Structure 1
């Protein structure tokens, strides 16, 4: 008899544990006078991230290094007007070393830039996390020597 009660208790605990792990998919029934209702709980998909040089996932970062090897090009003072599942749009400043006469003795120059991130895909390091795979810079006023008015980079995974 005691063995049967223990098995029943264990089975009930296991069922409750599984229900807790799975998460409640419905709200408890409403007031009977108001009518029964079931409300589905929607899981919000994670927003895409921007993966930096150190494999750190960031959402709406204030800065971003473009030249990971030497730091000679970076985005600073970033302000994002949009960041959603398809794209991110913002403005900032691209600080670029002119490398004249050579990079160690060069001067960092600042250029206003419009930034767009898009083409989200699953991040290899964390497959459940989407990350933007393309970054586009638009230079509305001056731009670094040798740069086009619009520059597009494929981002690392």
Structure 2
């Protein structure tokens, strides 16, 4: 009989713990409107974003790939001096592969640039988020052969 008493006691304790756990979860307070708004604001940035090659929104990234297909042109060491609802400006370097004798065997060269982002528009993937749609590079020193001092590129969406 003692065996049944212990088994019953264990079963009752387990049931009590389960009930207490469920009661606590269901009694948890609902998220306050302010907290919900804060979480929503984190998911939906007010300021425009830069959309990367993996279609992820980025704000003030320290690096950014310009040539998504092969990675032969990318920005690095970006230091953002300005980022608002209309424009963004950073200094950094453009790393460009010379592709000599071919890209897989080529060498990357570093060129100092000023990066400007402009023309924010609703992002097609998430219309509630605005993305910069234009990127301009101003080469402040040497530049790759064939490049103008200022290069302006449309950004993907």
Q: Which has the larger radius of gyration?
A: 2
Q: CA RMSD in A?
A: 1.8
Q: How far 1:45 moved relative to its partner?
A: 7.1
**TM-score, L = length of structure 2:** 0.72
CA distance in 1, matches of 2:154, 2:92: 19
Uncovered stretches (5+) of structure 2, i.e. residues with no partner: 1-29, 35-40
Residue of structure 2 equivalent to 1:57:
57
Higher helix share: 2
Structure 2 SS opposite 1:124:
coil
CA distance in 2, matches of 1:105, 1:59: 33
Q: Deviations over 1:64-113 (max 9, x none)?
A: 00000000000000000000000001100000000011111100000000
Residue of structure 2 equivalent to 1:138:
138
CA distance in 1, matches of 2:78, 2:117: 13
**TM-score, L = length of structure 1:** 0.72
Residue of structure 2 equivalent to 1:97:
97
Q: How many residues align?
A: 119
> Are the aligned partners of 2:45 and 2:129 in contact in 1 as well (CA < 8 Å)?
no
Name the CA shift for 1:60/1:45 in 2 (closer, same or farther; >3 Å).
closer
Tell me if 1:113 matches 2:109.
Answer: no
Stretches (4+) displaced over 2 A: none
